[in-house]
């Protein structure tokens, strides 16, 4: 009989254990979001940095509802029936940015394949509303693939975010398992189109989760693909299983290996890289942007 514990039951290594920050700021941010009827990817996706970011008065706003039309096997965001878009949401996000006195804001969304433009117009409205109410704030958007629609990408780019982020998430071989409703080449094409748009100075950002069974060579090949398609900012982080119904962690990548991969990415030509076990696509986004 095999008594070896499953991968999901194995104890996390020491570098994935952290003390939760204390203080009232976290609760103040949570109450503000609840009062504004807003969602954050920090909460919906069970981000391990939630306490830290909230305590620093930082949040990644999740627009277009708390449920997604896709069922990616790594993601904790709920899925199911969709609600109509809330036309007042862009203004409420802008008001929350002002109330939190943010200098850098990240806006992402669930995937809304049920909408004709994939929600691109809602993204644009949110960017413009934040700009109107918060002059000088830097805005990063983390967008879905819009089913490959170049018109949708153009709508977002024309609203002039400061950074356009779209996560590749994993290596090409693992897409059918990890992202069965997405297409590796489609995500790359989206980034290339954004880079070749009317605003080629717009930084393109992307990220990978590690620990899903990819090899180092596959990681480096994915990074080369990102560079060839216009990506200049990169995040590399550890995948953590949100629940038993999600993909198990194949391995825990050590901080030393993350450091090595970050150095390799910089050597390949990325403008800047955030690489570490707790790094997520919007984690310390302000710092990454400012260094660039």
Give 237's contacts (C-beta < 8 A, 6+ positions apart): 207, 208, 209, 210, 275, 276, 277, 278, 279, 280, 281, 283
Dihedral pair phi/psi, residue 266, rounded to 5°: -65, -40
- Between CA 71 and CA 149 the distance in angstroms is 20
In this prediction, residue 29 carries a pLDDT of 62
In this prediction, residue 222 carries a pLDDT of 98
Beta bridge partners of 212: none
In this prediction, residue 244 carries a pLDDT of 80
Contact 143, 118 (CB under 8 A): no
In this prediction, residue 1 carries a pLDDT of 38
- Between CA 288 and CA 13 the distance in angstroms is 26
Residue 139 lies in a domain: yes
In this prediction, residue 2 carries a pLDDT of 42
CATH number of the domain where residue 225 is located: 3.20.20.70
- Between CA 43 and CA 59 the distance in angstroms is 9
In this prediction, residue 28 carries a pLDDT of 63
In this prediction, residue 36 carries a pLDDT of 53
pTM of the model: 0.86
In this prediction, residue 9 carries a pLDDT of 44
Residue 42 lies in a domain: yes
Dihedral pair phi/psi, residue 207, rounded to 5°: -155, 160
Residue 266 lies in a domain: yes
Residue 14 lies in a domain: no
Residue 9 lies in a domain: no
Domain coverage including residue 157: 22-291
CA distances, 53 to each of 19, 23, 43, 117 (Å): 13, 13, 11, 31
In this prediction, residue 32 carries a pLDDT of 60
Residue ranges of the chain with per-residue pLDDT less than 50: 1-6, 8-9, 41-47, 49, 55
Give 88's contacts (C-beta < 8 A, 6+ positions apart): none
Identify the residue whose tokens are 């994939």: 118
Residue 60 lies in a domain: yes
């Amino acid at each position: 009989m095999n008594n070896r514990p499953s991968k999901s039951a194995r104890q996390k290594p020491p570098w994935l254990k952290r003390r939760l920050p204390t203080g009232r700021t976290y609760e103040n941010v949570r109450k503000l979001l609840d009062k504004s009827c807003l969602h954050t990817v920090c909460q919906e996706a069970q981000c391990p940095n939630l306490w830290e970011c909230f305590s620093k008065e930082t949040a990644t706003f999740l627009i277009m509802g708390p449920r997604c039309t896709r069922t990616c096997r790594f993601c904790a965001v709920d899925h199911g029936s969709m609600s109509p878009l809330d036309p007042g949401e862009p203004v409420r996000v802008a008001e929350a940015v002002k109330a939190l006195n943010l200098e850098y804001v990240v806006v992402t969304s669930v995937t809304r394949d049920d909408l004709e433009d994939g929600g691109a117009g809602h993204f644009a409205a949110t960017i413009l509303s934040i700009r109107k109410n918060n002059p000088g704030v830097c805005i990063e958007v983390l967008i879905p693939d819009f089913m490959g629609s170049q018109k949708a990408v153009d709508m977002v780019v024309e609203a002039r975010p400061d950074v356009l982020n779209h996560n590749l998430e994993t290596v090409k071989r693992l897409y059918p398992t990890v992202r069965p409703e997405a297409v590796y080449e489609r995500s790359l094409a989206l980034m290339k189109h954004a880079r070749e748009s009317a605003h080629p100075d717009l930084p393109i950002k992307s990220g990978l989760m590690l620990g899903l069974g990819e090899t180092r060579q596959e990681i480096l090949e994915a990074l080369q693909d990102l560079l060839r398609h216009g990506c200049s900012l990169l995040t590399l982080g550890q995948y953590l299983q949100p629940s038993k119904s999600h993909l198990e962690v194949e391995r825990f990548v050590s901080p030393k290996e993350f450091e090595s991969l970050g150095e390799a990415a910089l050597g390949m030509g990325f403008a800047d890289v955030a690489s570490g076990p707790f790094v997520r696509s919007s984690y310390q986004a302000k710092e990454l942007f400012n260094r660039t």
